Structure 1
Amino acid sequence: MSVDSSRRALAVVFVIVFVDLLGFGILIPVIPLYALSFGATEFVGSLLIASYSAMQFVAAPFLGRLSDARGRRPVLLLSLTGSVLAWTMFGLAGSLAVLFAARMLAGAMGGNIATAQAYIADVTPPEDRARGLGLLGAAFGLGFIFGPALGGFFASEFAVAAAGSVFPAWLPATEFSLPSFAAAAITGANLVAAYFLLPESRPPEARAASREADGESRLAELADALRTRGLGTLVVSFFLVSFAFSALESQFIFLTNDQYGYGATENAVLLTYFGVVIAVVQGGLIGPLTDRYGEYRIAIVGAAIQVFTLAAVPFAPLLGEYLPSVGPLLPVGPTLPAAVVALAFVVTPLAFGNAVTNVSLNTLVSRSAAADEQGGAFGLTQSAGSLARTFGPALAGLLYTAVDFWAPFVLGGALMIPIVVLLARLDVSLLSGAGETTPAETPE
């Protein structure tokens, strides 16, 4: 693939992932309340949220291997089609059971991220892979920035009333159904664009070789890679990063509500700021940083930063006692209390550390797998992340209520310590094409 063709393909994949995450993000503020509207308890609503990651865990390796054998393009088109169906079912759901079925189907189709990562590995040389995967991370960040805002708009009284005036009688127009239909429509437009604009990245001969390979032998090959080529260390690290960070994602709003009295609007501003930092780092800074220091060092530094910043989040008000308040950032606006300034002081490096760690780990995973194993390797890491996001929030919520508000955040920081140790002991020479000078590694 030529340089121009590679850039066009990267741009198309960026848009596909961004729009896919935009559709997903629209429903973030809707899902818990939607479950409660059917009489579900908060615990059942949490299970509804977790069901997405659980199905993503099951489906990601299958979709990754399928993309190795059949091509990236058909798998991406299939997953987008399934997402349109899932979000439509979500809007039409007349029972909690249908809601769960739609959410689980959406999670299974959400396993396409591994295929998108493999697509980028196909069209980028090893030295540019971190930059390409960083763009994918930026698409994630932007999707989560704009998605919830759109969800809030479509759930507003104005939007619901406008839709109700034009929808036929059989089509519900509620604060829950309208965001679901909007997600389906956006994903449907994404499907049409991908059908016409997305080229296949995997050569026919490579797909044929993957189809001829025995399924069990390919699984055995990946298992062998886990033991001998450093992939095992990377997958464990990816799991721990996702598990630790899920503590922040699931408990942050509870924390800010308890400590600052913040509601949905204030938290939306904080989360948007967090997403902007991640998008800027992954979309612009990760390439130059990797060129200068290499993925290996960046991954270790990012994990080390999170050891301290994750654990510091619940103690930001104490730090705020030593910081001044900040006047209005705009000509008209509120003064930022010192505790909020301290919180921003903590979450900014936290967002930076998380952004560089995720991209660097994904890049190292790509380098650890052969060309015909990219989809399977990314599927494995995607499954590890999904499994972590399935069980991590449950444990974090238990610690928050049964121990104290600081417990899940301190645990998250502590879980970053073994990541630093594992990566420091990783023999990077075992990763094909690592191509960077590293300190002396300790044999595993």
Structure 2
Amino acid sequence: MTALYLLILVDSISATVLIPLLGPLLIDQATLVFLPGAALPLRNFVSGLLVATYVLLMLYMAPVLGRLSDQWGRRPVLLLCASGLLVGNVLAGLAIDAGSLALLFLGRVIGGATAAAQSTAQAALVDRGGNKARLLSYSLLFSSLGFVLGPVLATGLSPFSFAAPLHLCTFLTVVALVLLYRDRDREAPVAARRIDWSAISLWEGVTCFRDAAGDAAVRGLLGGFILMQVAWGGFFVFVSVYLMEAPRLDLTLSEVGLFMAIIGIGFCLSNGLVQPMLAERFAMRTLAVTGLGLNAATMVLCLIATSAVQAYAAGLLAGITINIAYPSIVTMLSDRVPPERQGWILGMVGSAAAMGWAISSVVSGALGGLGHALPIGLAAVLMGGAAVGMMVAGGMDFRRVHGNANE
């Protein structure tokens, strides 16, 4: 499973590594690489557009590639995703070296369009059998590690060269591709190798949500998952600004960086230890509802914190609780469709996550002008609403279960 976990890691690193570089590349006059003669509002707009391009293409293409993997097989689609990821990283690195904004956009377009590696790799892990909840939780552990490592690599390597983090991503993607190619004899068989192109459409990124809305087994769960992503996205984007400007806290940039790193530590602790341990004893729905409710409480704790230590503790709990809920919901969604639709549902998960973050960026950005505490307060309310919605979607189950705990 090394190839699958490495590809998930590289996919997550590639999605986040560029974000810390956008400031020096497009905003800071001392290090500006792109649009040196443009006004600051335009450079801010282009910075946001580079992030949105990747997210929106991932939203649209993840269900298409997921459906394709159900028919064609996981490995060919994983190779396609990894190849697109490689090209995207190569182009982004070259774009920074050459100062070409058009080439950077092209790299993000290709990378976003093939950014379904995580959901397809998760489907491949499920195909191999075993404890589904544990496999999905470990896959999210590597995703969380990539989420943390992306910004760390960007800030650590950028003093040498702004393109250096992208070149490292290129190297890691090549390693993942080699391991995937060597793994060609160990893929679990799929129901059909002949592709029914009539069942796959480029409109899949739109129609998949219509199909999900008509599927009673997944509709409520997916709606709660999207609401969770909207809430978490709003919190994650604005909490750093709030902590720096709150009169009771007034954290420095380095202290805020430590806060974000502590959230990442919470991600890893939860996915690698806490959630798999709890999944052996409690039903997935119990963990989902409890994790969402506790996460809403940690957001409130961030708002009322009066010291950096209190904020750090709230950040650690936020990282742990959100990742108690996340893999539990993904497991429930996976359980509600047959094996031949695993690629579709896990592609839907990736697309729904991207949709949630896109919505939260727009809504929280509009509210941020009224005060940076407001988006966080709204995020806490929405996260609580997601907990209630998850409780209603099929009823609450507090049974202690053993083994797989997949309900």
User: TM over 0.5, yes or no?
Assistant: yes
5+ unaligned residues in a row in structure 1: which ranges?
A: 1-8, 161-174, 318-338, 439-444
Structure 2 residue 234 is the aligned partner of structure 1 residue 234 = no
Structure 2 residue 108 is the aligned partner of structure 1 residue 103 = yes
Partner of 1:416: 383
After TM superposition, give the deviation of residue 261 of structure 1 in Å. Answer: 4.5
After TM superposition, give the deviation of residue 68 of structure 1 in Å. Answer: 0.7
C-alpha distance in 2 between matches for 1:295 and 1:199: 33
C-alpha distance in 2 between matches for 1:194 and 1:262: 44
CA RMSD of aligned residues (A): 2.7
C-alpha distance in 1 between matches for 2:319 and 2:208: 35
Look up the SS of the partner of 2:187 in the other structure.
Answer: coil
Structure 2 residue 43 is the aligned partner of structure 1 residue 16 = no
After TM superposition, give the deviation of residue 364 of structure 1 in Å. Answer: 0.4
Bigger drift between 52-61 and 140-149 goes to: 140-149
After TM superposition, list the pairs within 5 Å mapping 1:173-322 onto structure 2.
175-197=161-183, 199-204=185-190, 206-208=191-193, 211=196, 214-215=199-200, 226-259=213-246, 260-317=249-306
1:358-381: CA deviations, max 9, x gaps?
Answer: 100100010011110010111112
Partner of 2:38: none
Structure 2 residue 18 is the aligned partner of structure 1 residue 33 = no
Contact 1:250 1:397 in 2 (8 A): no
C-alpha distance in 1 between matches for 2:60 and 2:105: 16
Q: What amino acid is aligned across from residue 360 of structure 1 in structure 2?
A: S
Match of 1:119 among 124, 128, 138: 124
Bigger drift between 53-62 and 19-28 goes to: 19-28
Q: What amino acid is aligned across from residue 315 of structure 1 in structure 2?
A: I
After TM superposition, list the pairs within 5 Å mapping 1:41-52 onto structure 2.
41-52=43-54
Bigger drift between 364-373 and 345-354 goes to: 345-354
After TM superposition, give the deviation of residue 286 of structure 1 in Å. Answer: 1.4
1:226-283: CA deviations, max 9, x gaps?
Answer: 4444201111111111111111221122122223444543333222221111111111
Contact 2:259 2:311 in 1 (8 A): no
After TM superposition, give the deviation of residue 221 of structure 1 in Å. Answer: 9.8
Contact 1:311 1:412 in 2 (8 A): no
Bigger drift between 103-112 and 408-417 goes to: 103-112
5+ unaligned residues in a row in structure 2: which ranges?
A: 36-41, 397-402
Contact 1:240 1:415 in 2 (8 A): yes
Bigger drift between 109-118 and 290-299 goes to: 109-118
Contact 2:133 2:279 in 1 (8 A): yes
Look up the SS of the partner of 2:379 in the other structure.
Answer: helix
Q: TM-score, normalised by structure 1?
A: 0.79
Contact 1:222 1:377 in 2 (8 A): no
C-alpha distance in 2 between matches for 1:437 and 1:108: 32
Q: What amino acid is aligned across from residue 117 of structure 2 in structure 1?
A: N
Partner of 1:171: none
After TM superposition, list the pairs within 5 Å mapping 1:331-350 onto structure 2.
339-350=307-318
Bigger drift between 24-33 and 362-371 goes to: 24-33
After TM superposition, give the deviation of residue 20 of structure 1 in Å. Answer: 3.0
Q: TM-score, normalised by structure 2?
A: 0.86
Alignment: residue pair count: 382
Look up the SS of the partner of 1:201 in the other structure.
Answer: coil
Look up the SS of the partner of 1:230 in the other structure.
Answer: helix
1:272-322: CA deviations, max 9, x gaps?
Answer: 2211111111112212211211101000101111222223323212xxxxx
After TM superposition, give the deviation of residue 223 of structure 1 in Å. Answer: 5.4
Partner of 1:155: 158
C-alpha distance in 2 between matches for 1:420 and 1:98: 42
